[in-house]
Structure 1
Amino acid sequence: MAAVAEPGSLDNVRAVLAAHRTDLTRRYAAVGTGIGRPDPAGPYVITVYVTEPALVARTDESVDGVALRFVLTGPFQARRT
């Protein structure tokens, strides 16, 4: 039997992000997503990088029990290494 990740664990947040990344990107016209921990003693959150300033004020959004944090940014560009 596979182990189930604790609800607030990094493994759980990774699984939630993997399951919802495409939907989050479409819904919020996001330029990227990731995982963060704004407060080192607090829970992990899904960070949604957006170009629309109005989204940054949203603080009560969540998906599958994981809080969303919106960060205003410009477009991301891949760099050749």
Structure 2
Amino acid sequence: MARVVVNVMPKPEILDPQGQAVAGALPRLGFAGVREVRQGKHFELDVDDSVDDETLQQIAGTLLANPVIEDWSVTRVADGAAE
């Protein structure tokens, strides 16, 4: 069995109102120096070793992300590695 991490983020040209809200709240909470925040999604999948990288990309691009407005990365995590 393998652990796979899929991170999904809005494309740079897409507005991110949730990220903007967090960025706006940080100074009010006393945190300075953060210029921009982008909020995305993080998925962890446990898959059989037989699931290949192409299949993982298809899963990410058809179910986990909207390819029109989001980019994604798929990473196989080594046993014992923390993400």
TM-score normalised to the size of structure 1? 0.29
TM, length-normalised to structure 2: 0.29
Greater C-alpha Rg: 2
Higher relative contact order (CA 8 A, sep 6+): 2
